[in-house]
Each structure stands twice: as C-alpha cells, then as structure tokens.
Amino acid sequence: KQEVTQIPAALSVPEGENLVLNCSFTDSAIYNLQWFRQDPGKGLTSLLLIQSSQREQTSGRLNASLDKSSGRSTLYIAASQPGDSATYLCAVREAGANSKLTFGKGITLSVRP
C-alpha cells in the first residue's frame, strides 16, 4: 500500500526566503507525482505534475523534482511571498486506467511579511 509522507507538517519563513518542501513515498512504481496548493476551506489547485520518466518540472518560481528510485520529491519555492501561504499537498498516482491518487497530509506554509 502506497504511503506518502510530508514533513514537517508546518513551516514558517520570512518573506523573500527560498524554501524546499519535501515529500516521500514508499512504492516507487508510480505513474506520476503532483504537487497541489490548498487554501483554507478551498479545493485543490494543481501546481506541478511530474511524470515518472521526468526528473523535474518548473513553473515560475516553483520547481519540483522527482527521484523515483529513492521515493522522494521536493518542491522548491524561490523568493517566497506572503501570498504563497497555503497548504502544499504532494500526491502520487499509480499506473492504470483508473489509477487513484494517494495524498500526503500536506505542509502548511506561512510566509511572514
């Protein structure tokens, strides 16, 4: 059974700092890995999706990396801003037509002005 772990559960940083959010998973036989953002009481916004054959994806100030063999992914946020404050969820997708996502518990990020 796939398990996804995100540590720490919460993180507080000053504005402008570069930061790394970590995600680990137990079963390396994944189809892809996805990072989401969730604001309080809201749904999910997809940030980056990395296919199992890829090593990283970039979008603006965000960069996600994937090391499938070691079961790890990182989300790098450059020059953090207060608007980046949210919960960041990592999810892995199994292979298969009806493949499901297994989510981590998320990391709640607070960027202080």
Partner 1 sequence: GAVVSQHPSWVICKSGTSVKIECRSLDFQATTMFWYRQFPKQSLMLMATSNEGSKATYEQGVEKDKFLINHASLTLSTLTVTSAHPEDSSFYICSAKRGGDSPLHFGNGTRLTVT
Radius of gyration of the chain (CA): 14
Binding letters toward partner 1, positions 23-62, x by CB under 8 A = --------x----x----xxxx-x--x-------------
CA-based nearest residue to 75, from 92, 99, 58 = 58
Dist. CA 40–CA 93, nearest whole Å? 24
CA-based nearest residue to 47, from 76, 9, 15, 18 = 76
Amino acid at the residue 33: L
Q: Judged by CB under 8 A, does residue 103 bind partner 1? A: yes
Q: Which is nearer to partner 1, 49 or 62 (CB)?
A: 49
What is the size of the binding site for partner 1 (CB under 8 A)? 25
Q: Judged by CB under 8 A, does residue 69 bind partner 1? A: no
**Binding residues for partner 1, per CB under 8 A?**
4, 9, 31, 36, 41-44, 46, 49, 89, 91, 93, 95-106
